[in-house]
A and B are shown apart, each in its own frame.
Chain A
Amino acid sequence: MNLVKPEFGLIFWMTVTFLIVFFLMKKFAWGPILKMIQEREESIESALNSAQKAKDEMAELQNNNEKLLAEARLEKDKMLKEAREIKDTMISDAKDAAQKEALRIMADARNTIQNEKMAAINELKNQVALMSVDIAEKIIRKDLSKDESQKTLVASLINDVKLN
């Protein structure tokens, strides 16, 4: 019994068995196992990568959305402001125009009134003249039959002349 002396028989069997097992395992066990593990790792990695990519894309999308939203808000504010300005100018323009129109209408009215008034006065004058002539005629016809009355008339006329 020798503990440190290698036995030929065991070396023989060990070499034969180990080599057979090695080639068997290489072909039927390690080959498929290592291949599958690697494939799975690759698929997991690519899945993780694509998930990360999707996440990034989502973030970018969200960013874009926010940017768009901000832009839209700005646009809205601008539009509102513009609308307000337009409204203001429109109102003031309308006011101005109305004022002008009113003034013009009033001026026209005044002119018309003036014209009408003048016409009326002229008419009145004419009428008064006619009526005075008539009255004078009638009075003259009635009063000038007497001397006295003629004299008073002349005197009053002279008075009037003096008054004017």
Chain B
Amino acid sequence: MLNKINTLRIVFSLFLTGIFLLGANTTFADDSLATPAATQHAVEAAESHDATHQNQEAHGEEKFNAGKMILEHVGDAHDWHIAGHLSIPLPVIIYSESGLDIFSSSRFEHGHAAYESEKTGIIYKIHENKVIAVDFNGNENKALTETFYDISITKNVASLLFSVTLLCWIFISVAKAYTRNPGKAPKGLQSFVEPIIIFIRDDVAKASIGEKKYKKFMPYLLTVFFFIWINNLMGLIPIAPFGANLTGNVAVTLTLATITFIITTISANGHYWRHIFAMPGVPAWVLVLLTPIEILGLFLRPFVLMVRLFANITAGHIIALSFFSLIFIFGEMNTGAGLGFSLFSTAFTVFMMVMELLVAFLQAYVFTLLSAVYFGAAVEEGHHEEAHAH
């Protein structure tokens, strides 16, 4: 029964993701239509890039490009943009065969300059928010770039470090409050997080994993829930040091989903594997079909976890940014239209923000719940077998 529900859930979420991706694709397509210049940039060499840039500066103001702006905001960067031309430079850390280079991203002067490392002799340049190696003429040295391990503290990494510091600070202080007055009613922050912790324990862990085995998974479930939630919320606040689209970054959701997958695989018992490779009570010829599907399902589950969180959070950011972009698009046509539309945009963005507050919690909950369901399936005891066979 539970298995059926799980399969249904996966199918349903794939369906939803599919719908979302379709929608997202169309928006991206629109963006690329609207930004032929940007796509050209990617092909053109760095010199001409500089040239066009100078051209644009000669024009006075750069023409507003919504697609580029949105993608820059939801993506990662080597500096943390605050407002106007003000941004915080972040450290660039590149490891290659020649050695480790650490320098500030301010050396690139917002993409205008190249930086030659004295230690390794590599000339670095930033191109579309990616650090690349160039030769003396400014042309990209692709072979060298591919050997890079870019572990720079980007905007997302900085935001990650900031959020986990906040997370540790909140929960270690809450834990101290618990040890300071044991057995007393919770106070302050404690009384805010306690219902959530109990909710995760009773309605997520106990309900999905079972009374006997849930304890082992509690630390991970709680960590992942509060990690996703706090980062979702931080992503909604547009001012530095918040506003990074961390949980809407596929690398982050990939890591989280992988950890869930690893824990599921490590804690899985014989019953779980038997159900995947040879579902009991199923004829052999069906197994030929079923086993590949089950094995595919094994990898599909973390994949769906990854895509769902990434897509939901990124979608929220894109929608909010699109509405703000509309203000500038209308503003370029006519100042009055821009002002008028700003009212509508702001009202709609407020509405979206309230939605996103809910989504922030919901996605954290869904990720945690599904992780718990997978753990539950992995440690489920064999006595349900008979029930399935009937």
Chain A residues proximal to chain B, CB less than 8 Å: 1, 3-15, 17-18, 20-22, 24-26, 28-34, 36-37, 39-40, 43
Question: Quick one: which of A4, A30, A40 contacts B182, CB cutoff 8 A?
Answer: A40
Please indicate the chain A residues that have their CB under 8 angstroms from the CB of B153 in the complex: 13
Q: Which of A10, A11, A15, A25 is the most central at the interface, judged by chain B CB atoms within 10 Å of its CB?
A: A10
Minimum CB–CB distance for B103 against chain A, Å? 15
Q: Which residues from 109 to 152 on chain B have a C-beta closer than 8 Å to any C-beta of chain A?
A: 128-130, 149-152
| B164 x A36 contact (CB < 8 A) | no
B301 at the interface (CB under 8 A from A): no
| A21 x B222 contact (CB < 8 A) | no
| B168 x A6 contact (CB < 8 A) | no
Minimum CB–CB distance for B375 against chain A, Å? 15
B300 at the interface (CB under 8 A from A): no
| B219 x A22 contact (CB < 8 A) | yes
**B-side interface mostly:** helix
Q: Which bracket fits the contact residues of B?
A: 35 or more
Q: Do A37 and B197 form a contact, CB below 8 Å, given A1-B128, A13-B151?
A: yes
Chain B residues proximal to chain A, CB less than 8 Å: 71-72, 74-76, 93, 128-130, 149-154, 156-157, 160-161, 164, 167-168, 171-172, 174-175, 178-179, 182-183, 194, 197-198, 201, 215, 218-220, 222-223, 227, 249-252, 254-256, 259, 310, 314
Question: Quick one: which of B75, B168, B194 contacts A24, CB cutoff 8 A?
Answer: B168
| B251 x A10 contact (CB < 8 A) | yes
Sample (28) of A-B pairs whose CB atoms are under 8 Å apart? A1-B130, A3-B250, A3-B314, A6-B251, A7-B150, A8-B151, A9-B157, A10-B76, A10-B154, A10-B251, A10-B252, A11-B254, A12-B151, A13-B160, A15-B255, A25-B167, A25-B172, A26-B219, A28-B171, A29-B172, A29-B174, A30-B218, A30-B222, A30-B223, A32-B179, A37-B178, A39-B183, A43-B183
Minimum CB–CB distance for B76 against chain A, Å? 6
Please indicate the chain A residues that have their CB under 8 angstroms from the CB of B150 in the complex: 7-9
| B175 x A21 contact (CB < 8 A) | no
| A22 x B252 contact (CB < 8 A) | no
For the complex with contacts A1-B128, A7-B154, 20 further pairs of A-B residues with Cβ separation under 8 Å are A4-B250, A6-B254, A7-B76, A9-B93, A10-B252, A12-B151, A14-B256, A24-B168, A24-B172, A25-B167, A25-B223, A26-B223, A29-B171, A32-B178, A33-B174, A33-B175, A34-B215, A36-B178, A37-B197, A40-B182
Minimum CB–CB distance for A33 against chain B, Å? 5
Instruction: Report the separation of the CA atoms of residues A31 and B150 in the bound assembly, to the nearest whole angstrom.
Output: 35
Q: Do A3 and B255 form a contact, CB below 8 Å, given A10-B249, A43-B183?
A: no
Instruction: Report the separation of the CA atoms of residues A3 and B75 in the bound assembly, to the nearest whole angstrom.
Output: 7
Please indicate the chain B residues that have their CB under 8 angstroms from the CB of A4 in the complex: 250, 310
Please indicate the chain B residues that have their CB under 8 angstroms from the CB of A20 in the complex: 164
| B72 x A1 contact (CB < 8 A) | yes
Please indicate the chain B residues that have their CB under 8 angstroms from the CB of A34 in the complex: 197, 201, 215, 218
Minimum CB–CB distance for B106 against chain A, Å? 18
Instruction: Report the separation of the CA atoms of residues A8 and B149 in the bound assembly, to the nearest whole angstrom.
Output: 7
Please indicate the chain B residues that have their CB under 8 angstroms from the CB of A10 in the complex: 76, 154, 156-157, 160, 249, 251-252
Please indicate the chain A residues that have their CB under 8 angstroms from the CB of B314 in the complex: 3
Question: Quick one: which of A11, A22, A28 contacts B251, CB cutoff 8 A?
Answer: A11
Please indicate the chain A residues that have their CB under 8 angstroms from the CB of B182 in the complex: 36, 39-40
Question: Quick one: which of A1, A3, A21, A43 contacts B227, CB cutoff 8 A?
Answer: A21
Instruction: Report the separation of the CA atoms of residues A5 and B222 in the bound assembly, to the nearest whole angstrom.
Output: 28
Closest to A20 in B: B164
Q: Do A13 and B175 form a contact, CB below 8 Å, given A6-B251, A33-B197?
A: no
Please indicate the chain B residues that have their CB under 8 angstroms from the CB of A12 in the complex: 149, 151
Q: Which of A3, A4, A9 is the most central at the interface, judged by chain B CB atoms within 10 Å of its CB?
A: A9
Please indicate the chain B residues that have their CB under 8 angstroms from the CB of A30 in the complex: 171, 175, 218-219, 222-223
| A25 x B219 contact (CB < 8 A) | yes
Instruction: Report the separation of the CA atoms of residues A76 and B310 in the bound assembly, to the nearest whole angstrom.
Output: 86
Instruction: Report the separation of the CA atoms of residues A24 and B152 in the bound assembly, to the nearest whole angstrom.
Output: 24
Question: Quick one: which of B197, B219, B222, B251 contacts A14, CB cutoff 8 A?
Answer: B251
Instruction: Report the separation of the CA atoms of residues A18 and B151 in the bound assembly, to the nearest whole angstrom.
Output: 15
Minimum CB–CB distance for A135 against chain B, Å? 133
Minimum CB–CB distance for A9 against chain B, Å? 5
Instruction: Report the separation of the CA atoms of residues A6 and B93 in the bound assembly, to the nearest whole angstrom.
Output: 17
Closest to A2 in B: B75
Instruction: Report the separation of the CA atoms of residues A150 and B223 in the bound assembly, to the nearest whole angstrom.
Output: 169
